[in-house]
Amino acid sequence: MATTSSTTRCLLVALALAAIGSVARAGADAAATVHLDALTWVELRERIAAGATIALVPIGGTEQNGPHMVLGKHNARARWLAERIAQRLGNALVAPVVAYVPEGAIDPPAAHMRWPGTLSMPGAAFESMLEATALSLARAGFRDVVLLGDHGGYLGSLDHVAARVNGAKRTPPVHVHALGEYYRASSSGFDQMLRERGFSDAQIGRHAGLSDTALALAVDEALVRPAAMAAAPVAGNGVQGDPRRATAELGRAGLELIVEASVAAIRQRTRRGQ
pTM score = 0.88
What angle is formed at CA 78 by the lines to CA 135 and CA 148, rounded to 5 degrees? 45
Mean pLDDT, residues 222-245: 95
Q: Are 262 and 185 in contact (CB under 8 A)?
A: yes
Query: For residues 210 and 249, what is the distance between their CA atoms, to the nearest angstrom?
Result: 12
**Per residue in 114-125, pLDDT tens?**
999 999 999 999
Q: CA 138: distance to chain centroid?
A: 20
| More confidently predicted of 2 and 46 | 46
Closest Cα to residue 60, out of 136, 185, 147, 166? Answer: 147
Residues 203, 254: Cα–Cα separation, whole Å: 16
- Residue 271 pLDDT: 84
Query: Which of the listed CATH numbers 3.40.50.450, 3.40.50.10310, 3.30.830.10, 3.40.640.10 matches domain 33-272?
Result: 3.40.50.10310
Average pLDDT over residues 122-148: 98
CB atoms within 10 A of CB 67: 17
- What is the pLDDT, as a whole number, of residue 6? 73
Domain boundaries, the chain: 33-272
